[in-house]
A and B are shown apart, each in its own frame.
Chain A
Amino acid sequence: MDKFTTLTGIAAPMPLVNVDTDMIIPKQFLKTIKRSGLGVNLFDEMRYDQDGNEIPDFVLNQPQYREAEILVAGDNFGCGSSREHAPWAIKDFGIRCVIAPSFADIFYNNCFKNGILPIALPQEAVDVLMKDAEKGANARVTVDLEAQTVTTSDGEVFTFELDSFKKHCLLNGLDDIGLTMEKAASIDTFEAQAAQARPWV
């Protein structure tokens, strides 16, 4: 997995609540058996019309946001389906960080498996960042994972909370399965005990 340490980039504003994973990547793109190549279809039905032409008003189609690496959004981002195609599409587009007042549980976890940092901040802080993002491409936002801070283009700093294990894995680009495999003896022991206690499982 790719490491995430610091990021300074363009933030795209998406002031919508309940952005669901069907919006992020519609189902017709789930028929792939690969993880790559989904960026072009990120937010497909909001980004393109029925004939496949770009909808100019959509934020990621605007010239100043085409290279966005950070997305600022409303409450409950990533709700709905468990599809990991959502973070795959976000990453493939080039976005490495999503900032919102809250995230849906499965999407939030999926981000960390793909080198994406989801940052939950209070509504008031997100409102400030949303305004900053609306300034366009010259307003660069900086995210520092080690320090757990987000800094606006005006130098205003917000501190965010993050689970220490998730932070450690993201900072170092660690592979979860490899880490768990190191604890195989614990799993063996548990499995043997569980087979005694609940042999019907």
Chain B
Amino acid sequence: MDKVLMKGNEALCAAAIRGGCQFFFGYPITPQNEIPEYMSRELGRAGGTFLQAESEVAAINMVYGAAGAGARVMTSSSSPGIALKQEGISYICGAELPCVIVNISRGGPGLGGIQPSQADYFQATRGGGNGDYYLLVFAPANIQEAADLMIEAFDLADLYRMPVMILGDGMLGQMMEPVVFKERKPRDLPQKDWATTGTAGKRKPNIINSLRLDPAELENLNIRLQEKYAQLKANEVRYETHQTEDAELVFVAYGTSSRIVKNAVAVMRANGLKAGLIRPITLWPFPEQAFEELPDSLRALMSVELSHGQMIDDVKIAARGRWPVGFYGRSGGMIFTQQEIVEAGEKLLREVSHVSGV
């Protein structure tokens, strides 16, 4: 397939259709409106169904219904809309149904703003709704990666019977970049023999449900979910490391803002400071392995986020006290420059040197 120039939101849609998306239920909210608009235009042509719901709440419950009936289904929204969907996402996890959820996030809290932000990290990686559950969360840094991950997302959702979230931001959704749509890798996927497709008088009724009034039964579900999450941690963790081999300072950044940090690494290296980058591609499971491969030369880590520090908690867990962990962030749609990152990194290294007396 040829290289095409596409807006991030539209590339996600084109990739979703290539990934086997059959149904889309959504509700308008900026900055993700190109997604429902594209799907309303193209999903029908691809043999699927687009429906604009009356609310985000209804949309995610339509997803719950269609997923339970065995369909490949997705929804998209932006931060406050994703907050509204949390009830349904929790039910979908409780009922162990596959679906894909896109969050083209914006600044908060509340109605917030519409500029790029990474303030939904907690919401995406800590479950978000009630109960003891997680989503598989991908954070693409560019449009090509967004398309690649989306093409795989429906297969992974079906494989693990759980929601997959693509967490982007307004920058990823709105900018245009060249993208090549790759063929979906064939996978052995389990039959959906649990789906409510009608018994046809040939089997016992299937029940899609998250209610378990018997505590032992509910605990068993939770144990099964934890086993699934352990498999994800073993098999699905993805990350990129950039110039960490000899680094004294390693930044940790994800999504579009990691591209600014990557530029800052180049500037620091040109100035003679050995900087590097760990870029989580899966935010959950968090790539703790990446921190086991860091060199002895490392003196500090720095979490860099478009928020006031959410991923830093996971960075500290992964660091296990071995290195000091600094932070730099902007919020509300304000985006740091590479110079800000360079200065923050240099300042951290000076502080670390002072403390250790080097």
A and B held together in a complex? no
Which residues does A use to contact B, with CB under 8 Å?
none
